[in-house]
């Protein structure tokens, strides 16, 4: 990519031939980018770096005496994520469509690797691969992308070719099969939060594909039955069961399993309208909220930036979702629509779950806040998703 000088051919899809034909019109990649989407994501990452810095600068046990340790690593993760976004735009979502089987296979191998001795347990979930040098990888973050791409490739193939008006039952079954293996492996870790996100992604993808609503209703019923079975056969670890129990009864164990959520609500509630000021929150500086740089980073915003600052984060997340919805609506290929819809479902649910658990309206599930929470794997995955959205917009076909 060569900045504003990079050119590409605008294309029109010809269903009768199943091909893309080049048009004479040319435009600048930078002009066709969705700038509100990009700037909102960058703003979220910038705000996140400040919140992560505030949450960790006084925790010598984590920073090894360097108060800027997490700040610079968060900035580095963001930089790598933006580079991955640029690479995704350069390759294009259509090029990646052809590479989906390889990408999917790699993601499955990675999640399976977690179950080997190379895997590591963090906060109760055996969901990580330690790379050394303080770096680790959470493969389940990347399976969200490959599941979206894999299901979209199957569901849209015959529709975009003009052979069908909507996916048939056999195609839907094949698409659901794409998600079965990763979900089964992730449940063995167990990483319930990622499974919840993937389940919502599947629903979003099916709704966008035009598949029969009976599939959606059937999956909802199957999900409810599966949740009961998982509970009954004891697949969940004790700490996960305790989290749900604490959600149902916040006063059950305020000094134990309910400690995180109680301290989170205290932190957010103490911020008031304007907040205590960045780096001046008593709950944050006193280190009362565990995992505050990752899963509970929103509590730093609530305490130190107040209702207005926390509200700004919600507005920026809202802009990201709004622009993604617009991209999904404006593309004329079902494949692009499904990919965008899967990303929308992912971002929307994960944001709601993360913020909801800090407010006590959702159970603690160990999910980071997109763009804001500290974590390399999550940051890389969400920026690749932004790259896919931008590619769909940049390369969207236009009709004559």
For residue 1, what pLDDT is reported? 38
Are the C-beta atoms of residues 290 and 296 closer than 8 Å to each other? yes
pTM: 0.87
- pLDDT by residue, tens only, the chain of 400 residues: 333 333 344 444 444 444 444 433 345 778 889 999 999 999 999 999 999 999 999 887 788 788 999 999 999 999 999 999 999 999 988 888 889 999 999 999 999 998 888 888 776 667 878 776 667 889 999 999 999 999 999 999 888 877 877 888 899 999 999 999 999 888 887 788 899 999 999 999 999 998 888 888 888 887 777 666 766 666 566 655 666 656 656 665 555 556 778 888 889 988 899 999 999 988 888 888 888 888 899 999 999 999 999 999 999 999 999 999 999 999 989 999 999 999 999 999 999 999 998 888 888 888 999 999 998 899 999 999 999 999 999 876 544 4
Instruction: Tell me the HSE value of 153 on the side-chain side, using a 13 A CA sphere.
Output: 22
For residue 353, give the nearest of 123, 189, 146, 198 by alpha carbon: 198
- Paired residues of 12 in beta bridges: 21
pLDDT at site 256: 54
pLDDT at 25: 35
SS3 labels along the chain = CCHHHCEEEEEEEECCCCEEEEEEEEEEHHHHCCHHHHHHHHHHHHHHHHHHHHHHCCCHHHHCCCCCHHHHHHHHHHHHHHHHHHHHHHHCHHHHHHHHHHHHHHHHHHHHHHCCCCEEEECCEEEEEEEECCEEECCHHHHHHHHHHHHHHHHHHHHHCCCCCCCCHHHHHHHHHHHHHHHHHHHHCCCHHHHHHHHHHHHHHHHHHCCCHHHHHHHHHHHHHHHHHHHHCCCCCHHHHHHHHHHHCCCCCCCCCCHHHHHHHHHHHCCCCCCCCCCCCHHHHCCCCCCCCCCCCHHHHHHHHHHHHHHHHHHHHHHHHHHHHHHHHHCCCHHHHHHHHHHHHHHHHHHHHHHHHHHCCCCCCCCCCCCCCCCHHHHHHHHHHHHHHHHHHHCCCCCC
From 385, 387, 392, 393, select the one nearest 143 (Cα to Cα).
Answer: 385
366 torsion bin: left (phi>0), alpha (psi -120 to 50), beta (else): left
Sign of torsion over alpha carbons 339, 345, 348, 350: negative
């Amino acid at each position: 990519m060569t900045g504003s000088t990079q050119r590409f051919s605008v294309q029109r899809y010809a269903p009768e031939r199943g091909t893309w034909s080049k048009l004479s019109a040319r435009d600048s990649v930078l002009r066709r980018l969705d700038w509100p989407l990009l700037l909102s994501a960058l703003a979220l990452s910038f705000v996140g770096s400040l919140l992560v810095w505030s949450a960790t600068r006084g925790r010598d046990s984590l920073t090894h005496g360097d108060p800027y340790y997490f700040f610079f690593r968060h900035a580095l993760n963001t930089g790598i994520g933006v580079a991955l976004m640029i690479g995704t735009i350069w390759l294009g979502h259509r090029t990646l469509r052809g590479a989906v089987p390889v990408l999917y296979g790699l993601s499955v191998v990675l999640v399976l690797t977690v179950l080997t001795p190379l895997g590591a347990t963090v906060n109760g979930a055996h969901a990580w691969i330690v790379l050394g040098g303080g770096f680790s990888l959470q493969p389940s973050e990347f399976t969200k992308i490959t599941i979206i791409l894999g299901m979209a490739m199957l569901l849209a193939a015959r529709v975009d070719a003009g052979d069908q008006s909507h996916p048939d039952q056999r195609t839907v079954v094949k698409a659901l099969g794409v998600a079965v293996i990763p979900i089964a492996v992730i449940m063995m870790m167990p990483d319930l939060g990622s499974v919840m996100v993937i389940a919502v992604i599947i629903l979003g993808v099916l709704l966008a594909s035009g598949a029969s609503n009976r599939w959606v209703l059937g999956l909802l019923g199957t999900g409810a039955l599966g949740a009961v079975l998982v509970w009954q056969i004891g697949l969940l670890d004790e700490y996960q069961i305790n989290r749900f129990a604490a959600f149902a009864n916040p006063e059950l164990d305020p000094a134990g399993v309910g400690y995180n959520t109680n301290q989170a609500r205290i932190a957010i509630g103490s911020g008031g309208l304007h907040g205590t000021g960045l780096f001046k929150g008593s709950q944050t500086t006193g280190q009362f909220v565990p995992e505050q740089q990752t899963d509970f980073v929103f509590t730093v915003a609530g305490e130190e930036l107040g209702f207005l600052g926390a509200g700004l984060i919600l507005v920026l997340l809202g802009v990201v979702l709004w622009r993604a919805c617009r991209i999904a609506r404006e593309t004329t290929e079902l494949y692009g629509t499904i990919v965008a819809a899967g990303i929308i479902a992912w971002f929307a649910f994960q944001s709601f779950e993360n913020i909801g658990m800090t407010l006590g309206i959702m159970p603690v599930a160990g999910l980071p806040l997109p763009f804001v929470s500290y974590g390399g794997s999550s940051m890389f995955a969400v920026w690749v998703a932004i790259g896919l959205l931008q590619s769909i917009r940049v390369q969207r076909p236009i009709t004559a």
